[in-house]
Amino acid sequence: MTKIMIDPGHGGRDPGACGNGLREKDLNLKLALMVRERLKKYKCDTAMTRSSDVFLSLPDRTKKANTWKANYFISLHVNAGGGAGYEDYIYSGLPDTGHTAKIRSAVHSKVAKVWTDAGRPSRGKKKKNLHVLRETSMPAMLMENSLIDNAEDTRLLKDANFFNRLAEAITAGLAAGLGLQLREVIPSPAPPPKPPTKPPQPKPPTAKPSKYNVADAIRAMQAVVGKVQLSAEEAKHLDANGDGKITVQDAILILQKIVGK
Ligand SMILES: [Zn+2]
C-alpha cells in the first residue's frame, strides 16, 4: 500500500508567514487534515509529521518520513514576500522528466487549476534545494498555496468553499500522480434473503362435513332400509339445521325416523 507522509509546514513557536489576519501554520495544518481525510477513500496509508500545533524541526520531519518508509512526501506551505498565486517545488537536483517530476506534474495540474479558475496566477512548477525535498529518501514535493501577504490570495484562503476545493484538488492530484485506487465502497448490510417464491398453494379443502341433498340421502337410505315413503313435508322436518343439506346429525335423525316407523 502506498504510504503518504503529509507535512504541514511550521507549527508551535514557528508560525511561518503571517498576514491579513492569518498564520501559515494554521492554514497548513487545516489543509493537511482535510487532505488526509479525503485520502481515506483511496487505498493508501497516510501519516502526518504533525497533526496539531506543535513545533517540529526540518530534520524531525524528514526523519519521520524516512523512518516510516513513506512512498511519497508532500509538504504544505503558504508563501509571503510579494507576488500572487500558487507554485510548487521538487528538489533542484532532479530531472524534469523523472518519477518525482511526473507525480508533481499530476498534483500541479489539479491544484494550479483551482487557483487559476479563481483568478489567481500559477507561478509554475519550480525546483529548489530545500531541506525537506533534499533529505527525504522518497519522491517529495512542497507547495506554496499562494501568498499570505496578498489580500486577494488570502480572500480565497479564508473562503471555506475554496479551501475545500483546494483540499479536493490536492487529493485528486495525489491519487492521479501516485495511481491510487479507490477503496471498495463498504456495502450496506444485505437485506435478508427473500424466501423462494412458491407457486400459490391450493387452499386445503375446508374440513366441512360432506353434505348431500336430504332427498337424495333419504332415497338412498330408503332403498337400503326398504321402508315407507316420506312426504316432502316429513323430509323437510328431518332437515335438522334447516338448510336443505344433510349432516351426520340429519342422517341419524332420518335413519331413526325411517327405522322407527
Ligand atoms: Zn512555509
Task: Tell me how far apart the terminal alpha carbons of the chain are, to the nearest angstrom.
Answer: 103
Beta bridge partners of 86: 122
How many A from CA of 67 to the centre of ligand 1? 23
How many A from CA of 78 to the centre of ligand 1? 5
Q: Which residue has the cell 479563481?
A: 118
pLDDT for 25 beyond 90: yes
pLDDT of residue 41: 97
Residues 47, 76 contacting (CB under 8 angstroms): no
pLDDT for 214 beyond 90: no
> Which pLDDT tens digit goes with each residue over 108-126?
999 999 999 999 999 999 9
Residue ranges with CB less than 5 Å from ion ligand 1:
9, 16, 77
Q: Is 24 a catalytic residue?
A: no
pLDDT for 179 beyond 70: yes
Question: Of the listed 144, 152, 184, 234, which one is catalytic?
Answer: 144
Nearest to 44 by CA among 180, 233, 222: 180
The answer to whether the pTM exceeds 0.85 is no
pLDDT of residue 72: 98
| Confidence tier at 21 by pLDDT (50, 70, 90) | very high
pLDDT of residue 159: 97
Instruction: Name which residue leads in pLDDT, 213 or 4.
Output: 4
Instruction: Name which residue leads in pLDDT, 239 or 79.
Output: 79
Instruction: Name which residue leads in pLDDT, 254 or 214.
Output: 214
How many A from CA of 196 to the centre of ligand 1? 65
pLDDT of residue 211: 62
> Which pLDDT tens digit goes with each residue over 147-178?
999 999 999 999 999 999 999 999 999 999 99
Contacts (Cβ under 8 Å, ≥6 apart) of 232: none
Residues 171, 39 contacting (CB under 8 angstroms): yes
